[in-house]
Each structure stands twice: as C-alpha cells, then as structure tokens.
Chain A
Amino acid sequence: MSDYEGGPANDDDLSLPRATVYKLIAEMLPDDVACAKDTRDLLLDCCNEFIHLIASESNEICEKEAKKTIAAEHVLAALRELGFEKYVGEVEEAYGEHRQQQTKDRGRKSTKLNRLGLSEEELLRSQEFLFAQARMRFQNQAAQGAPDGGGGSGGGSA
C-alpha cells in the first residue's frame, strides 16, 4: 500500500469532493437557471447529509435482520422507507450493472493459464522439454567454441 494520503487530513472533515459536486450541479441545472455560490455550498452539505441518512437507515434495517454486513437490499429498503421509492428502479439497474462488471473482472483473472487448456502434467512435460532444448543449444555453443583453442569462455581476442 502506498503512503498517498489523498483525502482530508482529519477523518472528521470528510466530505464529498467540492469540485465533483459543483460540476454535477452545473451539469444538472436547466439552461435558464444558474446557481449562486453559497447555494452550491449548501447543496454540498445536503449531499453529505443524504449519505449519512441512507447509511444510518440501511444500517438499522441490516441490524433488524440480524445481519452484520450492509447489503444492497438494505440500501433499497432504506430508500423506500425514507420516501425515495422513485429512485429504487434506477438504483436496482446500477446494482445489476455492478454485478455484471464484477463477474467480468473475476473471469479475467483466471483465464491466463486456463486458456492454454493444458493440465498440470502437460505443463510440466513441456517445461522439461524446453529446458532440454536450451541445454542442447548451450552444449552446441560450447562445442563450436572448441576449435578456436579457447576453453569455455570462447575466444578472448582483443
């Protein structure tokens, strides 16, 4: 792990990155409306608060089910509970996409060796074969070097 400390120095100052939120606000605003600077800061606070809200509610729901890990289902239930049921559809879609991506990543990790389709025994045999070839090449080189009168080092001409 690197020593890069990319976030705020103090854990209590944690917030979403300002630039990201400001950019999103600008992208989301309709063409005929702008946003005042102090309103932007308030919206940033609202976003942070939203995270705390959903986190807290999801955690409660998770505990009620006697589970220790907050799962996707808990987040969806929290959204419904808090009056954000209209978000559930798209959030479920995002969940589906996330799972697809995870399956792809997992598949990619193990294909390297599996793709060859060789068993371990076959791999061992081919490895020994390659060693034998290399050995022969080496011996041939050494044999060719002999007529020069040199030993193993082959030459020594200036």
Chain B
Amino acid sequence: MRKKDKTKFPVARIKKIMQMDEEVGKMAQATPVLISKSLELFMQSIVDDVSKHARACNARKISPTHLKRCVESTECYDFLKDIVESVVDDGDGGGAEVCVAKVAEMEEGGVEAQIKSEGLGGGGGGAP
C-alpha cells in the first residue's frame, strides 16, 4: 500500500506519448487509464526491487548502479537495458555479482532470514 494515494499520472499526456509511435492509432477512452494504473504498479515494483539491491549493499541511497544491476537480473525489465547501458557499475557493496546473490538469498529466505542475520530474531539468539 502506498503512503498517499492522490498523485496520479495525466491521462491525456499518456495518450500523447503512446501516439508518438506512428503505428499506434485510435484507442478506447479506458486504454490510457489502464496504462496509467499499470505504470503505477510498475513504478512500485521497480522501486521495491531497486531498494532491495541498495539494501544488499548496505547503501542508504538508490544509485544508478543499483538500478542497472536490478534491470540486468530481472527478465521482465529487459526492455530497460538500453537505458542503463551507459551506467558504469561502481563496484558498490563488493560488486554486481555479490549483491545480486545477496538479493536472491534475501528473496528465498524471506524476511525471517534477513532479520536473523541482523540479530533481531526472537528465539535462539546468541548461539553461534
């Protein structure tokens, strides 16, 4: 759930952007509305995913490097490869491979694994 739900994309602008493609012709009134919703969900997904990469490197700020790694390790973000191509991986957090592996681990283990490794877990604390 988002903290606030008031900011929305301008539907008319979305339609214009779509029609920049000469192939795109007429569309139902609902179409740009649905694209607006899809865009919201896409933004939330990518912000969540990139945040994971930042956390894996113990960084407080999302950098272009984190975005690049995120794009390269997620299949459905393939269409963004050209956008991040020019970004130079600055080796944050031990390099791309290390961080991508960390993210995968976090995702498999779930939140409990992360809490455990931070020493915040409930039972069993202290035993090496």
Contact = CB atoms under 8 A, between A and B. Distances in A.
B37 A91 contact: yes
Contacts of A49: 79-80, 83
A98 B75 CA distance: 31
A27 B5 CA distance: 9
A34 B60 contact: yes
9 contacts: A14-B13, A28-B48, A34-B62, A36-B63, A43-B43, A70-B26, A72-B28, A72-B30, A79-B38
Interface centre among B2, B27, B38, B87 (most CB of A within 10 A): B38
B10 A47 contact: no
A33 interface: yes
Contact of B37 (A50, A52, A90): A90
A46 B62 contact: no
Interface residues of A, number: 60
A28 B21 contact: no
Q: Which 5 A-B pairs have the closest CB atoms?
A: A83-B76, A55-B18, A70-B27, A94-B37, A28-B47
A51 interface: yes
B47 A29 contact: yes
B17 A51 contact: yes
Nearest to B59: A33
B21 A52 contact: yes
Contact of B20 (A11, A39, A46): A11
Listed residue (B10, B26, B79) with the most chain A CB atoms within 10 angstroms of its CB: B79
A17 B66 CA distance: 24
B43 to A, nearest CB: 6
Q: Identify whether the interface residues of B are mostly helix, strand, loop, or mixed.
A: helix
A70 B64 contact: no
A47 B20 contact: no
Contact of B38 (A17, A20, A45, A54): A54
B44 interface: yes
A32 interface: yes
A95 interface: yes
Contacts of A17: 10, 13
Contacts of B43: 21, 24-25, 28, 43, 47
A59 B24 CA distance: 6
